[in-house]
Amino acid sequence: MDEKIFEFFTALLERLSGISYATGKEYLIESRLNELALSLGYKDINELYQSIVKRGADVKLLNEIIDALTTNETYFFRDHHPFETLRTHIFPELFKKREAEKRINIWSAACSTGQEPYSIAMILLEHFPRYLQTYKVSILATDISKKCLEKAEKGIYNQIEINRGLPIAYLVKYFKQDGAHWYIDERVKRLVRFQKLNLLESSMKLYEKFDLILCRYVLIYFSEEIKKKVLIDLWNLLNPGGYLLLGATEIPTVSFPDMEKKLIGKAVFYRKKDK
């Protein structure tokens, strides 16, 4: 692939989504965009590039480019330990702390095809059903990919997706099989609302604050400057006493006076100190 085409699409992707592709990813960019170009009736990535340069790109095409170039690796109860900590420590603490308001807001940022927010919903249904009767528990799940969100909202998964991380007890209780597909229970779906959101715009588009924010395995795709901006926005959207969960390999590149790192069980959370 011509270097100027690689630079054009990587610059476009970073401007639209914050995701940064370093040199060395040319093959990945070329293979994904060639596939997209063919599906849109172009001969190859070069023809797609020429068309955009001459005529520009509408919102639909820009969304399709983002979908093609974003990595959407996810699965149910990914890493296991954070979800165990949510069950044993975080949720009991939050329900106690929010007893007066009787409201808990949760945000699954970059939720991909929905396995993470649905995992949270299943924990709540399984272990905290009495609180769901008296508290308003909201799980907001956002992603930049329209394609991923459409799949997430349907709540339909194939056997490979079901086999990745989902305990058999949850499969039996919260899914129904129909042929080669598994449909998640409506009780689980009702706890989650999905919204298309670019993380670069979260401070402008989200008006509520959260008691728990999960933003896992996303920051690794951002440049240092954008990573810092996203972390600042996430922290500002967190309630005092709330928790931020990053990916197991991710470390905040910016610290805050009211941030405390907490190792709870085998998982690391970042807690915002109470005022």
Express each pLDDT in 154-209 by its tens digit.
Answer: 999 999 999 999 999 999 999 999 999 999 999 999 999 999 999 999 999 999 99
228 and 94 housed in the same domain: yes
105 and 47 housed in the same domain: no
* pLDDT score, position 163: 92
pLDDT of 275 strictly over 90 = no
26 and 59 housed in the same domain: yes
Contacts of 36 by beta carbon, 8 Å cutoff, 6+ apart: 48, 64, 65, 68
- Which of residues 42, 69, 96 is at a domain's end? 69
pLDDT of 24 strictly over 90 = no
38 and 151 housed in the same domain: no
* pLDDT score, position 258: 96
Q: What CATH number did the domain enclosing 43 receive? A: 1.10.155.10
Please write the tens of the pLDDT for every residue from 214-262.
Answer: 999 988 888 889 999 999 999 999 999 999 999 988 989 899 999 999 9
Angle between helices 26-39 and 3-17 (to 10 degrees): 80
169 and 240 housed in the same domain: yes
Q: Is the dihedral of CA 124, 126, 130, 134 positive or negative?
A: positive
* pLDDT score, position 58: 83
Q: CA-CA distance, 17 to 198, in Å (whole number)?
A: 6
123 and 33 housed in the same domain: no
Q: CA-CA distance, 145 to 11, in Å (whole number)?
A: 18
Q: Is 75 inside any structural domain? A: no
Q: Is 190 inside any structural domain? A: yes
Rg, the chain, Cα only: 20
Q: Which has more pLDDT, 73 or 64?
A: 64
141 and 26 housed in the same domain: no
* pLDDT score, position 113: 94
What's the predicted TM-score (pTM) here?
0.85
Q: Is 104 inside any structural domain? A: yes
**Full domain range(s) for residue 62:** 3-69
Q: What CATH number did the domain enclosing 200 receive? A: 3.40.50.150
Q: CA-CA distance, 49 to 5, in Å (whole number)?
A: 7
Q: Is 205 inside any structural domain? A: yes
123 and 11 housed in the same domain: no
